[in-house]
Amino acid sequence: MSVPSPWRADFPIFSAHPELHYLDAAATAQRPSEVIEAIGAFQSGGNANVHRGIYRLAEDATSAYEAARDTVRAFLNAVSLQEIVFLPGATAGMNFLADTWGRQNLNSGDEIVISEMEHHAVIVPWTELARGLGVKIQVAPLTADGQLDMDAYRALLSPKTKLVLVTAMSNVLGTAPDLAQVGAAAHEAGALFFTDAAQAAAHARLDVQALPVDALVFSSHKVYGDFGSGALWMRPEQLAALPPYQRGGSMIRSVSWEAVEYLDAPHRFEAGTANVVAAIGFAAGLRYLERAWANGAQAHETRLLEDLLERLGAEEGVRVFGPPSTAARGPIVSFTLERVHPHDLAQVLDEHGVAVRAGHHCTQPLHRHLGIPATARASIGVWNDSSDIDALIEGIRDARERFVR
């Protein structure tokens, strides 16, 4: 099967590196020309600080920044701009939630249910907070094929559960849990449900009006935008009740020596100078992604995923992790090659021009559960085509030749 990509030419990185087979979208997406141009256009023709100046250039910059917020709002189908907070990324979003909602709402004896496949960006802020507060962490286990074990998950829920944290897509297994079921069960137990959409946002529609989710975070650089931006979405009634995260300029209504009055959401949560350039790149990335989806990018990725799973599965000594069905997963595939360390494998693949990630992918508890220290991971973006998978398979065979003797 040969699957070409009509989007590949949009990415200048492949002109700079014609031999590159970039299979590391899950680490960061490559940037299409229009995102690079949108950033450049702001830098060269629109640069000014936002929410400050009353001259034209500054007002235009403010409008561009708020228009970027509206692009994020529309992408998530959120109702209002007040629900979207710009933060540096998904990690910052989870730290925000732990430090604000967590500190305000959790008490000793409460419980948090957290899935076994979470990224350290979720595990670290919440487990550290829980330890400090005397909150119990309940780990929701996975089935043998890397899906959330829904029965075991439901059995962990109780009146003590205040929060459920389940990723919208695992960055290792590709698993895409049924968020509707996860959220509904959390709500039935009286808990809130926050999800890490850092990976899912690049591959699946996340409609916050339709999903029973209370907060969601994701990063610009994984959805074709630039580094340095990301968004937190939270139900407005929850967000409005939160204390500020950081304090300083741009987030206050009035300041005196005696008292400080804060602005409403979202500005109350965006202290200091905003990363306007990153927000503009973020919005340009989302516009690009929306257009790619409208032109069939999701089906393209699924075709490549099917091919990837089938071909990896047929390779001698290769063990593939995560759900076998493409219906239950996104285009992120971790695997091992018998008797070859993933780092060695990644190095051989690099000699073939294939960029994959190798390591624990910031999921040490998951790798401990899998019983291995590391995996190699191939992940797909809209630019990928069959030649990338051909090169990956060739590289794996070469590594086997060299190491397994």
Give yes or no for a contact between 328 and 311, defined as CB atoms under 8 angstroms apart. Answer: no
Interface with ligand PLP includes 78 (CB under 6 A)? no
Q: Name the residue nearer to ligand PLP (CB basis): 121 or 156.
A: 121
Q: Name the residue nearer to ligand PLP (CB basis): 6 or 228.
A: 228
- Tell me the closest approach of the beta carbon of residue 200 to ligand PLP, in angstroms: 8
Interface with ligand PLP includes 171 (CB under 6 A)? yes
As given in the structure block, the two tokens for residue 353 are 């021009």
Interface with ligand PLP includes 121 (CB under 6 A)? yes
Q: Name the residue nearer to ligand PLP (CB basis): 200 or 284.
A: 200
Interface with ligand PLP includes 238 (CB under 6 A)? no
The residues carrying an active-site annotation are 362
Binders of ligand PLP in range 207-236 (CB under 6 A) = 219
Interface with ligand PLP includes 206 (CB under 6 A)? no
- Tell me the closest approach of the beta carbon of residue 381 to ligand PLP, in angstroms: 14
Say how far apart CA 358 and CA 26 lie, in whole Å. Answer: 12
Give yes or no for a contact between 382 and 299, defined as CB atoms under 8 angstroms apart. Answer: no
Interface with ligand PLP includes 196 (CB under 6 A)? yes
Q: Which segment (60-68, 196-204, 269-277, 387-395) binds ligand PLP by CB under 6 A?
A: 196-204
- Tell me the closest approach of the beta carbon of residue 182 to ligand PLP, in angstroms: 15
Q: Name the residue nearer to ligand PLP (CB basis): 89 or 281.
A: 89
Taking the chain, what is the end-to-end CA distance rounded to the nearest angstrom? 31
What one-character DSSP code corresponds to residue 114? E
Interface with ligand PLP includes 115 (CB under 6 A)? no
Q: Identify the residue among 30, 62, 167, 238 touching ligand PLP (CB under 6 A).
A: 167
Of 203, 199, 189, nearest to 140 (Cα)?
189
Q: Which segment (45-53, 86-94, 132-140, 251-259) binds ligand PLP by CB under 6 A?
A: 86-94
Interface with ligand PLP includes 175 (CB under 6 A)? no
Interface with ligand PLP includes 186 (CB under 6 A)? no
Interface with ligand PLP includes 91 (CB under 6 A)? yes
Interface with ligand PLP includes 161 (CB under 6 A)? no
Helix (H, G, I), strand (E, B) or coil at 73: helix
Strands 252-255 and 260-262: antiparallel
Q: What is the dihedral of CA 395, 401, 402, 404, to 10 degrees?
A: 120
Q: Name the residue nearer to ligand PLP (CB basis): 62 or 288.
A: 288
Sequence-distant (≥ 6) Cβ neighbours of residue 238 within 8 angstroms:
101, 192, 214, 215
CA of residue 111 relative to chain centroid, distance: 25
Give yes or no for a contact between 352 and 379, defined as CB atoms under 8 angstroms apart. Answer: no
Say how far apart CA 70 and CA 201 lie, in whole Å. Answer: 16
Interface with ligand PLP includes 98 (CB under 6 A)? no
- Total chain residues near ligand PLP (CB under 6 A): 11
Q: Is residue 299 exposed (0-12), middle (13-18) or buried (19+ Cβ within 10 Å)?
A: exposed
Q: Identify the residue among 119, 300, 352, 367 touching ligand PLP (CB under 6 A).
A: 119
Q: What share of the chain is helix, strand, coil (3-state, %, to 5)?
A: 45, 15, 40
Is residue 174 left, alpha or beta, with left meaning phi > 0 and alpha meaning psi from -120 to 50? left
Say how far apart CA 357 and CA 350 lie, in whole Å. Answer: 10
Interface with ligand PLP includes 38 (CB under 6 A)? no
Interface with ligand PLP includes 360 (CB under 6 A)? no
- Tell me the closest approach of the beta carbon of residue 227 to ligand PLP, in angstroms: 8
Q: Residue holding tokens 């910031």?
A: 362
| Binding residues for ligand PLP (CB under 6 A) | 89-91, 119, 121, 167, 171, 196, 198-199, 219
